[in-house]
Every structure is written in structure tokens, then in C-alpha cells.
Amino acid sequence: MAFKKHRRVTPQAWRVAALAGALCGALTAGPASAIDVDAGDYTALPAGTNLAVAYYQYAERDALYSRDQRVPVDAGLDSQVGILRGVHYMNVGGYTVDPQFLLPFGKLKAGNDTSFLGRTSGVGDLILAATVWLVNRPDANTYFGITPFLTLPTGQYDRDKALNLGENRAKLTLQAGYITGLSKSLSLDVAGDVTLYGRNKDFGPSGQTMKQDASYQAQLYLRYHLSPALDLRAGISRTVSGATEVNGLDRDDRGDTTKLQIGAAYFLRPSTQLLASYGRDVSVREGFEENRRLNLRLLQVF
């Protein structure tokens, strides 16, 4: 990590810098340790259906944690991230499958005592995926699907920067999602995933090799359907991110984050849906804590 030559680097700054170095792989366009879902994502649509989806995510972070302890600095990190997503539903061997891609882009900006982390903007890593539905029962509002996500190291990455949109490594996430109707107006969404990481062989200013243990996430949502076009939703997720190792040195930086969110989704017309949600972290073991996050999603069916 590079500091401006004229700036005096205090011991506290070095402590924060060391922690920030451990976070370089995590500060990307979207969750680096898991794949977040929106409630309803595991609904299978008829073969031949296409989706064009645009996301906007704004998050503010005002606290920094290391091994369950808040670091005594005035931390700040804001992010504005967009994601373009294309989905196509098809039938393969009697199963519904939806090949898709996700392309993130945006900017990250550090502030306050952590402003030396700088800022970055650009395009993140391309994600390719395809859900296979093993249970597809629209009459009972019950679905179960499995999705492999392959993240390719195509995003912008500079080893001399603490903040990057790309991670300079491949990732494979295997996720399972389940939806069921609890009543005529209440639905339950559950998802879980595991992420395996390739190595970043150009990590940090000296170009070291960084590897990471597997990460895990569990997500649960309840949706209350006010009408066929409008629902209210609330969710909780917990992510346990694997510890990293740089050139064989274990950094003891396993993450454990729990977050809550509430929101609503509304079909403006039969083929156009707008989703909005607001959330925040409620528990963080390692890294920046989000004190607020706004997610917007526009979905077009064609």
C-alpha cells in the first residue's frame, strides 16, 4: 500500500493499513465471500423467458473491526455499485435451466481516518451462472434449484491499490435455493452457498501469493404478498468468510458478518418489476461494518 511521501504515517495508521491490506480481496463490487440473492430469485419461469436486470447498490461503512474488536479510528468507506444481469430460461432434459451473466461496475471511496486507502472505479469481475431446478411446482409455489457461479478475473485490479473492483483470482460458488408458500399470502425463501477461491499471485505491492479458505453464507427471507403485484419482505443473512494466507503466513482474518434488510417489490406492469430494500450489518468480526445499504433493482421480462 502506498502512502503519500509528505504524509506522516502514525503507528495507528500502520495498524489500520495492515488490516486494510487483509481486506483488499474483500472490497469488491458486491459480496466477495458469497452470492447474495433477492427473495423470489429461485422462482422458475417458463422456458423461452428472458430477463434484463439492472441493480444499483449504495453502502456506507463507518466502523472497522479486527477479530471482533472495533478498531479505534474514525473509519469511512462508501460504495456505489451497479450490476447488469441477463438471464435466459430454457428446458434441458426436462429440467428448467437459466444460463446468465452478471457484470458489476462502480466506485469505492475511503474517507476520514481511512482516507489513505484511496478510491477506485471501473468494472468488476464477470460472473457466469446457471440454475438447474430440481423442484418446479408453480401450483404450490414451491421451487428448489442449484446454481454454480463462476467468477472470472476480468475486472480492474492494481496490486498497488488497497481498493479494487476486481480480485485477480477466479472463484467458484455453489448455491442452493428453496422457495415455499407458507400460506396464501406468506412465502419463505432460503438459500445457502459455499465459495472456493483461486489464488491471487499478484497480491499487494510486492506481488505476493494470497490464498483463502472456503466461505459460507446462509440467507432467509419472508415475503408477505399484499397482492399479486406487491410484496413486503424482510431477511437475514450470515456470512462466514475464510481466513487468508499470504506467502504461507496465516493472517487469522476469518470473517463473520450478520446483516438484516427490509424491502418491497412491485410490478409496475406485468413485465416490469421494481425492487427496493434497505439494510445494515448487525454483527461484524473482521472488516468494515455497513451502517446502511440501499439496493434498487429494475427487472424487465421479455
Q: What is the CA radius of gyration of the chain?
A: 20
Helix (H, G, I), strand (E, B) or coil at 18: helix
> What is the CB neighbour count within 10 angstroms for residue 187?
22
Q: What is the spatial distance between Cα 132 and Cα 146, in angstroms, rounded to a whole number?
A: 5
Section 224-229 average pLDDT: 97
Q: How would you label 15-32 residue by residue, b for 16+ Cβ within 10 Å and e otherwise?
A: ebbebbbbbbbbbbbbbb
pTM of the model: 0.89
* pLDDT above 90 as % of the chain: 88
Q: What are phi and psi of 112, to 5 degrees?
A: 55, -135
Ranges 143-147, 249-253, 279-283: which has the least confidence: 249-253
* Res. 217: pLDDT tops 80: yes
Model confidence at 33, pLDDT cuts 50, 70, 90, reads low
Report pLDDT digits (tens) over 281-295: 999 999 999 999 999
Helix (H, G, I), strand (E, B) or coil at 58: strand
pLDDT recorded at residue 34: 72
pLDDT recorded at residue 25: 36
